[in-house]
């Protein structure tokens, strides 16, 4: 069996990672620059070649600075299912800052809380939570 690990190519991986850590909770697990990895001494030397961040618990997202301009809107969304509505709502509101809300975070007819947005970096997110007992 394999493990799915989202990998985001960014114009500024360090800033984007910090935004996700502030929005979702978490930490930088590791960062490797082009200089550290290959010893290059050119304009790429300080750019992130590989970064791992842990967000919303133990969910890893890998990131790198783009060597060429990245293309946004790839048709992929990252989805996080939270244990409580409050956790999901807080993360949703933070991720939405400077972005575009497609579907507000609300209780849905299909029985869960759901919201969808594109963050200020052009990444699509779907956040969900199950209702608690007596909630709907």
| pLDDT score recorded for residue 68 | 83
33 DSSP 8-state letter: E
| pLDDT score recorded for residue 4 | 74
- Location of structure tokens 């790198």: 64
| pLDDT score recorded for residue 16 | 97
| pLDDT score recorded for residue 77 | 85
Same domain, 124 and 87: yes
Domain that holds residue 95: 77-129
With a CB cutoff of 8 Å and minimum separation 6, the contacts of 90 are: none
Task: Pull the structure tokens for residue 67.
Answer: 């060597």
* Mean pLDDT (10-residue bins), the chain, 136 residues: 80 96 97 92 93 94 88 76 94 97 94 95 93 68
| pLDDT score recorded for residue 79 | 92
Structural contact between residues 61 and 125, judged by C-beta atoms closer than 8 angstroms: no
The CATH number of residue 96's host domain is 3.10.180.10
Q: Is residue 117 part of a domain?
A: yes
| pLDDT score recorded for residue 132 | 78
Q: Is residue 110 part of a domain?
A: yes
């Amino acid at each position: 069996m394999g493990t799915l690990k989202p990998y985001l190519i960014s114009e500024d991986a360090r800033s984007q990672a910090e935004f996700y850590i502030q929005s979702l909770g978490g930490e930088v697990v590791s960062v490797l620059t082009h200089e550290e990895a290959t010893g290059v001494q050119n304009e790429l030397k300080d750019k992130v070649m590989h970064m791992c961040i842990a967000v919303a618990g133990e969910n890893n997202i890998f990131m790198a600075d783009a060597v060429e301009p990245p293309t946004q809107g790839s048709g992929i969304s990252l989805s996080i299912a939270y244990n409580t509505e409050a956790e999901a709502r807080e993360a949703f509101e933070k991720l939405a800052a400077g972005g575009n809300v497609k579907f507000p975070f609300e209780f849905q007819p299909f029985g869960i809380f759901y919201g969808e947005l594109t963050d200020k970096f052009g990444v699509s997110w779907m956040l969900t939570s199950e209702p608690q007992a007596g909630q709907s």
